[in-house]
Amino acid sequence: MGHVADRTDPDISPLYGDLGGLPPALLTVGNLDLVFEHSLALAARLAAAGGRVDLRVYPESQHGFTAYPTAMAAAAIRDVDTWLDDLLG
């Protein structure tokens, strides 16, 4: 993995960007994901900026868990599909 000099650059991490006026967001993360805490902070910042945010945390799941044929991945993918169906009507 390459070195990044400034991890607070919004192009590297949206956590540090202007989050106002964004469309509804669904954040899907496993509790074992390396970016788990980052995802929690991003959800809080999105909400504080007035955004509609839905954070879904999946137990015992690592980064990229939805790419594997597991029951937890299937549940997460169903949740994403349902969220999109609800959003788009």
pLDDT band at 9 (very low <50, low <70, confident <90, very high): confident
Residue 12 lies in a domain: no
Sign of CA dihedral 45, 42, 19, 47: negative
Tokens 């989050």 found at: 19
Q: What is the pLDDT of residue 15?
A: 87
Residue 9 lies in a domain: no
Q: What is the pLDDT of residue 1?
A: 54
Mean of pLDDT over the chain? 94
Residue 66 lies in a domain: yes
For residue 81, the enclosing domain spans 23-88
pLDDT tens digits for 40-74?
999 999 999 999 999 999 999 999 999 999 999 99
What pTM, to 2 d.p., does this model score? 0.86
pLDDT tens digits for 10-30?
888 888 999 999 999 999 999
The alpha-carbon radius of gyration of the chain (Å, integer) is: 14
Domain count, the chain: 1
